[in-house]
Structure 1
Amino acid sequence: MDSNVQRVICRAGLGVGLSVMGLLAGCSESEVDIVAFEQLTAVAATIAPEDRRCAFGGAVIQTGIDDNRNGTLDTEEVDDARVSCNTSLPSGASPLISSFVASNGMPVAGETVTLTVGASDSAGGSALTYSWFNVTEQLLLAETGAALTVVIPDTAEVGDTIVYQVTVTDSAQVEQIRRMTLVVSETVVRPVTAVSTESHQIFLPDGLEAPVDQPTGDFDGVVFFAGTNSLPDAQKMRSPRDLGGFAAQRRNFGRGSNARSELDQLRNVVSTQNGYSLTNISTAVTRACAVGRFALDLADPATPTSLTRSLVELIGLNAEGGQLTAFPAPVASEGESTAYEFRLSVCFYSPDDVVVLVSTVIDEVKQRYEAVTRGVTDGTNVGTAESTRAEAADEFVGSGSGGLADFLFVVDNSGSMGNEQAALSQAAADFISVITASGLDFRIGTITTDRQTLRGQGYTADTMQFEQDAVAGTSGSGRESGIYWAERSLLSTALGDAEDGSSTLAGYPRAGASLSVVMLSDEPDQYSRYAGTAFDPTDNLFIDRSYPVYSIINEGSPGDYDDLALATGGSTASIADTSQFPAIMNAIATNAGGAASLFQLDETPISSTLVVTVDGVEVPEDVDNGWQYVAGSNSIVFRGTAVPGEGAAIVVRYQYVESGEAAG
């Protein structure tokens, strides 16, 4: 065959461009095929990593007859096009798209929605092009910029889905495709900002602002700040930006093997950063994610913007050793602080697919932002890229109260526990205040880590008695086992045990009441020294009888306390900083109140879409006089003056993800 009519192409199919010379570049002699000049195989584009077609990138390969013999395949000459995906991430390859945000992922008919994509050129230039496509209607759109504004048709019905696709191409003919699914909603459901990552849809509560200028570089997600709807400006601390955070998809880089271990790994990355100090207020594992709430103390003051950037660089990048090339600018006169509430949640799908949710809020105003910080980090707001959303309306009838709730506190009474007992006693009033505000009929019993005898008058609703019972003394045994003695106290012959324990003999838990166990100890549990066998955190009385355990412990040496707490749907907290005991007890009271709630939901909602009405009147989401959603029990808890009266008609409306939960 005449060499002038030969075509040289790379077997690997990873070149860029359509010209003969472009395909020849970089090919060794062993990598080439010889074909007739008229029949060409060419790489039309390189696919960037994190593309919806290829997780690790790849190439679009075209074949056809070069009828005009110009050395390229013109559009009309292409007979076939196929996608060839890489099986691993090529060295130096990086995605183009760093953010893809819809102003409202659940719009109503007739509403205007803006889709915005943030991207960077793999070659370091700025010659990006954008192509938009309505997948639902199979319609190529005229818009060629980084933002697309669409109007939901007036004829759209609730539940209709509309899918938009953007293709970003850079100067080196590297392209990346990503999709966004909008679900038409009822007006009664609160709007959410939708974020599309490589494999997920993530929903941000109303009131958080996602700036148009999002991060670029090794990042796949969205950065957000406190929006103008979060609070009236007059109530804010110093500036319109008291809160910052991000939601991102990343890999685990060989660290954790599930949601809990990955959260521990990322938490350690933050806590070992110079000038950062973390105290665990509450860590739990929900249906989908490991969810942590911490007090973050900084050696030097930081603004929400600067702190958020630091945290993105520490735990939010999707490439090991990666970096940001741009980040949203701070606002004028932005406040700063050394004390923040830091929430960190991890949803673990696979080692190559981890979603990280982070919020930071200046500590002095954290309660004002409770609804949005919880809504963005409780894990109910994450679905897969292909998952759909549906609406639900659960109906209840008010009973005039919040249900029955019993608590068993187990207090370490060994020699080192004086300060911790005093702190627990001082936090008792806060704990009971939260429980009382929920309208719960409650009783609290207290035992120690060396015997099952109930302290004081036994189970009580009296604040002063609980305060006294919590100070159990420091002359108890050094063989502490809160687990063993709680188990003994809760034995019941009616449930098949050989004997009745002290709580059962006293008549607790009461019929129809939830029971929550709270353990306080600064040493590892020594169950085997009493029982003669090791304790199994996955197979025990607490799990069998649905008794959630909340452990306030020495996290450096937890024994079985932490495993038991997370296995039962409870939570762990740090005993190290007694100044945080009020916050810890408040968190336990909120979660335990959820377990006793009479308002358990049928589906797991995207919590920031919840709308609650009582007798047709909307009730605000408020920790004092409103309602709260408790993810651990998937329930609504009413507070203060909002507790519904007997016979009240209660309706809870929300959207939920129909598929695509992570594995905890």
Structure 2
Amino acid sequence: MPVLRKVSPSATSEPTGTEACFLSALQLASGSDPAFRASTLPNRVLEPGKKATLIVRFQPPSEGEFQGLAEGWVSHPTHGHPLVNLVGRGVQGCFSVQPTTVDFGINRLVCGPRTREFMAYNDCPGEVKVAGMKLEQAGAQFAVSGALPATIPPGGRVKLTAKYAPVEEGDDAATVRFTLKDGAVFNAGLVGRGLSKTDQTDRFIQQAEARVDVLFVVDNSGSMMEEQQSLGANFAAFLSQAAAAQVDYRIGVTTTGLDPSPGGWSECPGGALGGENGRLFPVDGTSPRIITPETPNAAGVFANNTHVGVCHWNEQGLDATWRALSDPLLYNLDDPRTPQLNDGNGGFLREDAKLAIIVLSDEEDFSSQPVAFYETYLLALKGNDPSKVSFNAVVGPEDLTTCTTSSSSGSRYMELARRLNGVVDSICTPNWAASLEKLSESAFGPNRAFPLSELPEDPGAIAVRVDGVPVTEGWAYDARANAVIFERLRAPAPGVVVEVTYPLGCP
């Protein structure tokens, strides 16, 4: 008989007898609060000792208690409808753990443990005392480590490490529970899938990108005046693909500055003195901060919003990106930490929209975390679906002799763009209209890059099918992005199914 038990953030059904059983519709029950989300598992036969796991994600829209129910049906005469209660609480706090779900993806059983990093943050005005960090799981697939319990000073960060080593095939999930000294509890989820097979087939449905959210991160240092003007003057080129495909877009701008400029020969406009800290520009609301197809004089608004000033000298574009797309800015119309009114980013990011990030800078990024951290966080925003996120970099090139006005190469930006299937271009581009057309294609055009879920052991053995028909040309494997990328004129049409089969390697 299967026994359904809760393994936050999941519900797991495991046969405990000696006979196989039939599992039907492991899912969220009707009437569960929308704060809980899960995809129904397909019907299946569970062999003795095997398991089926329903991954439940919890995203509260406000403070308060939320309740739900996970249910399934099994072939048992008296226990055929097992249930699991789901309970969660939303709080407004300045302590956080990011990302809230660490997804290890697929790991072959013959490969070694897979490692991911995540962070505990104290953005409170005072110290936070973390009294405990406890891993709750079924089995011993996951392990966590880090310098907790500890007292974290204001603005402090504690790097944590999670490892995943599956012992059998199937989905695995666990919860890392953080307990503060005042009794508050915060959770982070760990998920992964163990596989023993030697081949992997990734399936993609080519979507027509009807909804896209675009975040520009613009360098506001002293050498960027001409580039800001060129960007603002070529807005029509950027919107070329969006107009052709009738995309429902939202466009926002922030800067690479986190703290207000200490002053000097120039002041930055917008109300934050160059220290947007992830807030959309202009912070003071003197022009619309989110541009949509309905925005009057959108080109003029974009030109204004990209003239962010040239007052700052510490470019931290990746941190600015992360802060723009995380609490407390992301879900609030007002940033509770600042005196300005209505300076939050609430309403910018839509759950069902593709996210495109475009950074423009003539300096290297000096943000606080490894590039892999930002990759993990941005993917987690979109359910770890690489086709829903792109990161694009118009920065100092690797060969600075081709761009003498750039202070340094934007190597960290370029690395993230390659990881997240974006466009890389030189900040010294001689043709801004052409460069912005390429960025427009990346943000709004048909998807050409299909990131593989795992690392192929032999890239030469990759096989591609489109709607079941083998395709042997018009695409190439990009090892840096670990993706199959189609040529521009060979991009699969909306609605078709793209299948990529390859032998599995070990990361």
TM-score bracket for this pair, using the shorter chain length: 0.3 to 0.5
Calculate the TM-score normalised by the size of structure 1.
Answer: 0.30
Which structure's residues are more often helix, by fraction?
A: 1
Calculate the TM-score normalised by the size of structure 2.
Answer: 0.38
Name which one, 1 or 2, has greater alpha-carbon Rg. Answer: 1
